[in-house]
């Protein structure tokens, strides 16, 4: 079955045809994902982005592709603004926490992958740190210098966008929109020829005089800019041209056009990447997530409130990755109830004998399988895929076959549907309140109220059994 993906380059849904379309052997798909800048905790917005990549990888694998997934870890050079302004995020984080930059990077890298594990995200095949690939980055900058796409100044080596006329066209943007308004209160490169030129190598002078992480280079002591690491490392592991590059929608304006410009200028090959996929933002209570608004939540925060991180994954899958998603604690509650309900049903099916299917029923099994695959292959339409799962569970397909179908679906959904809900652990606080309240009503002889509460609990996906009151 063909896979269709919305390519941000063309802004249309296209049939996925990888570069390597050799017949008769597994086709290896190269996939690169911009990873974390490891100076702070991963939040539930990151979770959404990386769950999208995980679904994409699982869909490709189910489509018989062999995926080589590479993800970077940004541990140097990412400034507070993506457009070369402000301090290095890592150095700032280290100062704030009274630790070394290396300690900060190690701590948050570990935290990031542990959080992603909780969301059942399959780890990338290659995890590469920017600081482990300084040589590759210097070599790439040198190549750009040799070809006349970069220039040296007293404060930095810059990419010269005027030498790459296609710059700015990527993702349907206008160059004019990209020119940053140079404010007097921000520190930016004074020797930039064009405000949209971007740093490839920062020198350890001026505002970066005391930068802790620094290396020797042909242009003096310093450190690489953020954008160059993704070009250097993706090409190192996947070649000059590869199939898929993913990231958050915040990368469309600066980071990804810069990656394209650097890579294509260096290799002379077009396109650098065939398909670009971008995940939309996660909002919290209708607002952009930020620490100052106190609506910044991590996967651990979700767990501390008694939720299963996979309920969060279910919540993500309920929206298409290109649509904005608004997180609320109520919506997470609803997601958890739905997931528990599904798992409860499936655990009852597990040991059911497989019925010998009638022609009509086997047709139904095939229909559900096809509908599910059609949904996920159609630009990762997970809301539709979940709807197929629910419809299948409600259908008259024999329960043993429902179990098998659900397990097949779960290879892509990644919700661990075969897990039997651990009753106590999976009862969320607000359900427990209802259970306690019902118990109280029963003791007081208010059986009508108690029954109403039982119905409410049942709707949320839980069954309560009565103990004797004596």
Query: By the criterion CB under 5 A, which residues form the site for Zn ion?
Result: 34, 230
User: In this complex, which beta carbon is closest to Zn ion, that of residue 34 or of residue 157?
Assistant: 34
User: In this complex, which beta carbon is closest to Zn ion, that of residue 34 or of residue 335?
Assistant: 34
In the complex, what is the shortest distance from the CB of residue 31 to Zn ion, in angstroms, rounded to a whole number?
Answer: 13
Residue 381 CA to residue 51 CA, distance in Å, equals 13
In the complex, what is the shortest distance from the CB of residue 275 to Zn ion, in angstroms, rounded to a whole number?
Answer: 16
Residue 369 CA to residue 412 CA, distance in Å, equals 12
User: In this complex, which beta carbon is closest to Zn ion, that of residue 278 or of residue 313?
Assistant: 278
DSSP class per residue in 407-467: HHHHHHH-S-TTSPP-HHHHS-HHHHHHHHHHHHHHHTT-HHHHHHHHHHHHHTT----PP
Residue 390 CA to residue 346 CA, distance in Å, equals 11
Q: What torsion do the CA atoms of 45, 48, 51, 56 make, to the nearest 10 degrees?
A: -120
Chain length of the chain: 470
SS3 224: strand
DSSP class per residue in 341-377: HHHHHHHHHTTPPPPPPPHHHHHHHHHHHHHHHHHHH
Q: Which of 123, 125, 119, 124 is nearest to 416 (CA)?
A: 119
User: In this complex, which beta carbon is closest to Zn ion, that of residue 278 or of residue 341?
Assistant: 278
In the complex, what is the shortest distance from the CB of residue 223 to Zn ion, in angstroms, rounded to a whole number?
Answer: 16
User: In this complex, which beta carbon is closest to Zn ion, that of residue 73 or of residue 230?
Assistant: 230
In the complex, what is the shortest distance from the CB of residue 202 to Zn ion, in angstroms, rounded to a whole number?
Answer: 17
In the complex, what is the shortest distance from the CB of residue 255 to Zn ion, in angstroms, rounded to a whole number?
Answer: 6
Question: Do 201 and 143 form a contact (C-beta atoms < 8 A)?
Answer: no
Which runs of E-coded beta strand occur in 272-408?
A: 273-279, 282-284, 287-288, 325-327
In the complex, what is the shortest distance from the CB of residue 278 to Zn ion, in angstroms, rounded to a whole number?
Answer: 12
Residue 128, sorted as left (phi over 0), alpha (psi -120 to 50) or beta, turns out to be beta
User: In this complex, which beta carbon is closest to Zn ion, that of residue 9 or of residue 34?
Assistant: 34
Matching residue, tokens 């599910």 = 372
Question: Do 418 and 410 form a contact (C-beta atoms < 8 A)?
Answer: yes
In the complex, what is the shortest distance from the CB of residue 34 to Zn ion, in angstroms, rounded to a whole number?
Answer: 3
In the complex, what is the shortest distance from the CB of residue 395 to Zn ion, in angstroms, rounded to a whole number?
Answer: 44
């Amino acid at each position: 079955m063909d896979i269709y993906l919305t390519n941000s380059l063309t802004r249309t849904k296209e049939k996925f045809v990888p570069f390597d379309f050799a017949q008769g052997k597994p086709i290896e798909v190269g996939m690169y994902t911009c990873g974390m800048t490891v100076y702070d905790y991963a939040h539930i917005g990151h979770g959404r982005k990386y769950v999208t990549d995980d679904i994409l990888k699982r869909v490709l694998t189910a489509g018989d592709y062999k995926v080589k997934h590479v993800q970077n870890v940004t541990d140097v050079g990412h400034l507070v603004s993506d457009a070369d302004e402000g301090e290095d995020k890592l150095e700032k984080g280290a100062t704030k926490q009274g630790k070394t930059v290396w300690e900060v990077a190690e701590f948050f890298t570990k935290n990031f992958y542990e959080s992603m594990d909780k969301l059942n995200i399959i780890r990338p095949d290659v995890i590469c740190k920017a600081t482990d690939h300084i040589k590759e980055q210097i070599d790439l900058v040198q190549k750009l210098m040799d070809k006349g796409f970069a220039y040296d100044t007293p404060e930095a080596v810059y990419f010269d966008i005027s030498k790459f006329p296609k710059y700015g066209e990527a993702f349907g943007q206008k160059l004019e929109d990209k020119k940053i308004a140079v404010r007097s209160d921000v520190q930016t490169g004074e020797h930039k020829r064009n405000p949209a030129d971007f740093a490839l190598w920062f020198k350890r002078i001026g505002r970066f005089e005391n930068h802790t992480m620094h290396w020797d280079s042909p242009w003096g002591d310093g450190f690489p800019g953020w954008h160059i690491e993704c070009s250097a490392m993706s090409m190192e592991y996947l070649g000059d041209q590869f199939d898929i590059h993913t990231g958050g929608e915040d990368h469309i304006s600066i980071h990804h056009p810069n990656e394209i410009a650097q890579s294509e200028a260096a290799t002379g090959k077009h396109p650098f990447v065939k398909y670009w996929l971008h995940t939309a933002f996660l909002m919290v209570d209708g607002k952009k997530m930020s620490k100052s608004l106190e609506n910044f939540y991590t996967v651990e925060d979700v767990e501390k409130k008694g939720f299963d991180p996979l309920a969060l994954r279910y919540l993500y899958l309920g929206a298409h990755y290109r649509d904005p998603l608004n997180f609320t604690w109520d919506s997470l509650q609803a997601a958890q109830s739905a997931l528990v309900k599904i798992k409860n049903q499936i655990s009852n099916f597990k040991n059911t004998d497989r019925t010998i299917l009638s022609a009509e029923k086997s047709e139904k099994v095939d229909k559900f399988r096809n509908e599910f695959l059609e949904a996920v292959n159609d630009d990762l339409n997970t809301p539709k895929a979940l709807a197929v799962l629910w419809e299948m569970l409600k259908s008259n397909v024999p329960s043993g076959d429902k179990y098998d179908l659900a397990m097949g679906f779960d290879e892509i959904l990644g919700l661990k549907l075969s897990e039997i809900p651990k009753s106590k652990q999976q009862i969320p606080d607000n359900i427990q309140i209802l259970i306690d309240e019902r118990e109280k009503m029963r003791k007081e002889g208010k059986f009508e109220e108690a029954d109403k509460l039982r119905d409410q609990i049942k709707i949320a996906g839980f069954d309560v059994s009565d103990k004797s009151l004596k």
